[in-house]
């Protein structure tokens, strides 16, 4: 479904990604694992169009998408849930969710009614969001914001979701809840690219994985195999 070949991208003068190739087949759940600074977030930003690659090709559903603005790519169904959550802090929880569905809602008129079925689904998945639906998103705790960010991206009915570091800055208990949500998603057949620094967690919920280091892919294969590979733990604990 998503295929990237030989991607080079970066900020200013230097390349952060140095020739990355990866593939996410339809219906699969792929992990992108690596220590901080390995280039996971840069890769996620490049795939979603926030950063224009200097070299390389990105195919989504067989069509070239590199160079398109992020909003166009999102409308095609490739949606990123960004690192650091990036919820719209001054807006309410429900407005945040509605914005996720922006491209298919009427600009003026009964947009709430049109989105109500999707909203129900999200609220079923994260009941805490329903409790806080009219609260400002900025006043939520870190875990709740993460759930909101995931909920927002699901509102778009995406073909493929990139989850960039959903665990960032979360307490272990909350983390568990987030990962359970990812498992639920996976079961529903959603295609997911999960970028994670917590290797063990990421490998346990995905089919296959890419291990990144210094802007390149150093290892790839089925997650279960990689989880047993001592080289992976080594990369983390030195």
Partner 1 sequence: MFSSINPGVKEKTAEHILRLVLFLFLAFLPSVWHGQYALGLLTLMAVYGVLLIGLDATVGYLGQVNLAHAALFAIGAYGTALSIKAGAPFPFALLAGIITAFIPGAALAIPSLRLEGPQFALSTLSFASLTIVVLNQCESITNGALGLTIERPSFFSIKLDPTGFYWFCLVVLYSIWLASDQLLKSRIGMAIEALHDSPTATDALGIGSLRHKVLAFAWGSALAGLAGGLHVMNFGYLQPAAFGYELMVVLLLGVVFGGRRSQWGAFLGAAVVTMLPNLLSNRFLFSALVSTGCLLAFISPVKTLISRRMPSFNEAAPACAMLFALLLSFFVPNIEEWRKGIFALFLFAAVVGLPDGIAGALTAAVNNVLVFNPEPLPEAKGSIPSPKVLTGYPLRTSHLTKFFGGVTAVDTFSIEIKPGEVVGLVGPNGSGKTTLINLVSGLYSPDTGSIEIAGSHPRHGSLMAAAAAGASRTFQNLQPFYSLTALDSIIVCQKKVDRPAAMGLLRTVGLEDKARKRCSELSFGDLRFLEIGRALATCPRILMLDEPAAGMSKPDITRLIGLIDSIKQTASIGILLIEHHQDVITELCNRVAVMNGGSLIALGTPEEIRKNPRVIEAYLGAEDLHASCMIKTEEEPC
Partner 2 sequence: MNPEILAYTQMAVSGALMGLAYALVAYGFQLTFAAGKAVNFGQGELVMLGAFVGLTLTGIGIPYWLSIAGAMAVGTGLGWFVERSAVRLALKQHNEGWILLTIIIGLFAVSAAENIWGREDKPYPVPWQDGSIDFYGISVTWPEITIAAGALGAMILIEIAKRCTMFGIAVQAVSADPDAAELCGIRSTSATSLSWAVSGAAAAFAGTIIGPVTTVGPTMAAALTLKAFSVAVVAGLDSAIGLVFTGIFLGTVENLSGFLLGSGWRETPGLILLILALALRPQGIFGKKIIRKV
Binding site for partner 2 (CB under 8 A): 48-50, 69-71, 74-75, 79-80, 82, 86-91, 95, 98-100, 102-103, 105-109, 111, 152-153, 156
Q: Is 230 in the site for partner 1 (CB under 8 A)?
A: no
Shortest distance (Å) from residue 67 CB to partner 2: 14
**Phi and psi at residue 160, to the nearest 5°:** -145, 135
Which of 14/107 has CB closer to partner 1?
14
Which 12-51 residues touch partner 1, going by CB under 8 A?
A: 12-14, 16, 35-37
For residue 153, what are the contacts with CB-CB under 8 A and spacing of at least 6?
79, 80, 81, 100, 161, 163
Q: Which is nearer to partner 1, 63 or 187 (CB)?
A: 187
Binding mask 89-108 for partner 1 (x = CB under 8 A): x-------------------
Angstrom distance (rounded) from CA 153 to CA 236: 30
Q: How many residues belong to the site for partner 1 (CB under 8 A)?
A: 44
Contact positions with partner 1 (CB under 8 A) in 97-156: 138-142, 144-145
Question: Among residues 89 and 183, whose Cβ is nearest to partner 2?
Answer: 89
What residue ranges bind partner 1 (CB under 8 A)?
12-14, 16, 35-37, 83-84, 89, 138-142, 144-145, 165, 167-172, 175-176, 179-180, 183, 186-187, 189, 197-202, 204-205, 233, 236-238
């Amino acid at each position: 479904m998503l295929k990237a070949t030989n991607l080079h991208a970066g900020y200013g003068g230097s390349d952060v990604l140095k020739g990355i190739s990866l593939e996410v087949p339809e219906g699969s759940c792929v992990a992108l694992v690596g220590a901080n600074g390995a280039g996971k977030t840069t890769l996620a930003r490049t795939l979603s169009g926030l950063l224009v690659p200097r070299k390389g090709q990105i195919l989504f559903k067989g069509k070239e998408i590199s160079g398109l603005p992020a909003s166009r790519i999102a409308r095609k169904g490739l949606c990123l849930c960004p690192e650091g959550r990036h919820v719209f802090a001054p807006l309410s929880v429900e407005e945040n969710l509605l914005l996720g569905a922006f491209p298919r809602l009427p600009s003026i008129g009964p947009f709430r009614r049109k989105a109500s079925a999707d909203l129900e689904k999200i609220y079923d998945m994260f009941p805490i969001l329903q409790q806080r639906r009219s609260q400002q998103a900025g006043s939520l705790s870190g875990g709740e914001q993460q759930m909101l960010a995931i909920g927002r991206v699901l509102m778009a009915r995406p073909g493929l979701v990139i989850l960039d570091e959903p665990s960032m800055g979360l307490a272990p208990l909350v983390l568990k809840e987030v990962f359970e949500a990812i498992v639920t998603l996976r079961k529903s057949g959603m295609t997911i690219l999960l970028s994670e620094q917590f290797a063990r967690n990421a490998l346990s919920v995905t089919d296959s994985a890419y291990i990144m280091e210094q802007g390149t892919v150093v290892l790839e294969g089925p997650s279960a195999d990689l989880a047993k590979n001592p080289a992976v733990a080594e990369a983390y604990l030195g």
